[in-house]
Amino acid sequence: MPVSEILQGPDVAAADDARRLLVVEDNEVFTEIVREALPGTAWTVIDCPDLATAETAVREETFDVVLLDLGLPDSLGEATFDRMSSLVGQTPVVIMTNDGMRDLGRRLVRRGAADFIAKGDFDPEHLRWALDAAFDRRAHADEARSARIAALLASERQRIARDLHDDVIQQIFAALLELARIDRDAGEIDRIEVLLDGAIDDLRHALDQMRSDGELRLTERLQLVCDQLSASSGRSIDLRLCQRLDEVDDRLGRAIVAVVREGTTNAIRHARGRISVSLRADRGLEVEIRSGPPTKTTTHDPRSFGLAGLHDRAGEFGGHCEFRRDDAGAVLRWSTRPAR
């Protein structure tokens, strides 16, 4: 199925439930062999004949697994895997090699590839097992990461609550005791003001910690936001992150979390279908949120998507925010880079 082909008709609902496999392979005969080896309803197969076409596909669509040939017309060997891995983030990549590249296949598995398949002794059963295993490992990793984030967040909130009780609340209580004496000793007003100022400063510090989610890295905070939105809305949200995000400063990190939360919430309210959230940190930082067709109640007024606040946040960092939408779907791009 070419990447530009759109599923239509009564099979759309079934296709939406299927796992999505991107096959990057220039040999059309082998692509058909792969397609025939997979169960009819378990996988939706989208194929690309070269790396350039695959790059366009992964920027525009969401996939559960990538099946990647290392020998493409526009890319060869280890560089092919490196480029695809940088594009798809945490999406598992199963590589295909010729017989003379088995050592490379094993080395790339050690570097993070989900598995490798030698074309010379292709086995449909091995292919199905490799794809299913890659999909399941990703699902289990997502669950484990969500559990770890939830545990860290619960622990941090307990610590903040304890600190609030032990420090801030006790200072406010002391100020209230002083207020009870104010009619007898008016000279204590200055002391009360100092106590209240200290309590307010401590409260601000505690709230700042709560806003940054304590020990959570930025990538974990973003995962938590998407997990919470997905759980509350029942919508599938695909999040693609790069590890360089954890290097940004706290001010920009808070802005990114707010942009992802606001932009994804708008997509949930105003659009149907899958939602994908991608963050890249090359040549500045870019957030891209893609969603499906608009709901029947959505107008074509961009202000209905709450863009004013997103534009303002981008301006704080010298960047820009753009939004485009048609009957097929919507794309929101927020960047710290100036508009071209």
> How far is 330 from 289, CA to CA, in rounded Å?
8
3-state secondary structure the chain: CCCCCCCCHHHHHHHHHCEEEEEECCCHHHHHHHHHHCCCCCEEEEEECCHHHHHHHHHHCCCCEEEEECEECCEECHHHHHHHHHHHCCCCEEEEECHHHHHHHHHHHHHCCCEEEEHHHCCHHHHHHHHHHHHHHHHHHHHHHHHHHHHHHHHHHHHHHHHHHHHHHHHHHHHHHHHHCCCCCHHHHHHHHHHHHHHHHHHHHHHHHHHCCCCCCHHHHHHHHHHHHHHHHCCCEEEECCHHHHHCCHHHHHHHHHHHHHHHHHHHHHECCCEEEEEECCCCCEEEEEECCECCCCCCCHHHHCHHHHHHHHHHCCCEEEEEEECCEEEEEEECCCCC
Per-residue pLDDT, 182: 56
Per-residue pLDDT, 289: 94
Here the tokens at position 162 are: 């304890």
> How far is 328 from 291, CA to CA, in rounded Å?
9
Q: How many Cα atoms are found within 13 Å in the side-chain-facing hemisphere of 325?
A: 23
CB 18 within 8 A of CB 43: yes
**Nearest alpha carbon to residue 265 among 230, 300, 295:** 230
Q: Is 320 left (phi over 0), alpha (psi -120 to 50) or beta?
A: beta
Here the tokens at position 225 are: 């936001």
CB 287 within 8 A of CB 310: no
Per-residue pLDDT, 66: 93
> How far is 208 from 17, CA to CA, in rounded Å?
41
Q: How many Cα atoms are found within 13 Å in the side-chain-facing hemisphere of 78?
A: 9
Per-residue pLDDT, 185: 53
pLDDT in tens, the chain (340 residues): 444 333 333 333 344 557 889 999 999 999 999 988 887 768 889 999 999 999 999 888 888 999 999 999 999 999 999 989 888 888 899 999 887 788 888 899 888 888 988 888 888 888 888 888 888 887 776 676 667 777 776 666 666 655 555 555 556 655 655 555 555 555 555 566 566 656 655 665 555 555 544 467 888 889 888 888 887 778 889 999 887 888 888 888 888 988 998 899 888 888 888 899 999 887 789 999 999 888 765 554 544 445 777 888 888 899 999 998 877 788 999 998 865 5
CB 50 within 8 A of CB 72: yes
Per-residue pLDDT, 51: 93
pTM of the model: 0.48
Strands 237-240 and 115-118, how do they pair?
unpaired
Per-residue pLDDT, 325: 85
